Chain A
């Protein structure tokens, strides 16, 4: 039986790591875009930033749709990043699996909350 893991892994296809690498950059660009859009709307608002100014930024339908997409991009982005951290520092498989499952549950719960807030505006 030949060794088929680690550096001896038989590579049977392309794209190893490319998907995560690319996803990390695309989702990051989307988060940066939303950040810029929110900042621009704050900077070009007149008067003190109270509740009305702040809430109206997110109440426009196009802004809701974009924020929704960005929340999904964000949890994918965080998943890739946290998975990298667990894979680098946590060696025991059981502990790593637990932390990865915890990360997914944590992120899905947070995403649900954020989307609920967004959609009842």
Chain B
């Protein structure tokens, strides 16, 4: 590799603080690392997700408690924090789902070309961010 591209930097044992900010990822790389980050975020927030499931389905009274969390807050967190965290969860789920469907599609159809990797990655990023904005507008009461 280095003989073919003498000026191309090699990344071995990369330093997270020095090399990562200057390393430009291709779209497929962004989809990949965001797939991982979104999964980890949902793993850590699983108790909040189940709390939402619990309060929203258990009874009329708990449903009101669920709704008021987005306005009056929950535990030590004010309402807007719950809204922002929920928006983060919406994005995490959408990205993870759409990027996962991309995986399944690539496995099923053996779509392994560089061009398909790039175009499908741009599709995933556009759709997940677009849907997050649409649902986020609903979450913040814009329509």
Contact = CB atoms under 8 A, between A and B. Distances in A.
Contacts of B39: 78, 81-82, 85
A9 B56 CA distance: 50
Contacts of A51: 56, 59-60, 63
B97 A35 contact: yes
Contacts of B58: 117, 120-121
Interface in A84-121: 85, 103, 106-107, 110, 113-114, 117, 120-121
Report the interface size class on chain A.
Answer: 20 to 34
A82 B43 CA distance: 8
Contact of A32 (B43, B63, B100): B100
B104 A110 contact: no
Interface stretch (B47-55, B74-82, B113-121): B47-55
B72 interface: no
Contacts of A78: 39, 42-43, 46
A55 interface: yes
- Residue from A32, A58, A81 with most neighbouring chain B CB atoms (10 Å): A81
A45 to B, nearest CB: 15
A113 B54 contact: yes
Given A25-B107, A28-B100, A110-B47, 16 more contacts: A28-B104, A35-B97, A51-B59, A51-B63, A58-B57, A81-B43, A82-B39, A82-B43, A85-B36, A85-B39, A106-B43, A106-B46, A110-B46, A117-B53, A117-B57, A121-B58
Which 4 A-B pairs have CB atoms at the shortest separation, nearest pair first? A51-B63, A117-B54, A110-B46, A55-B57
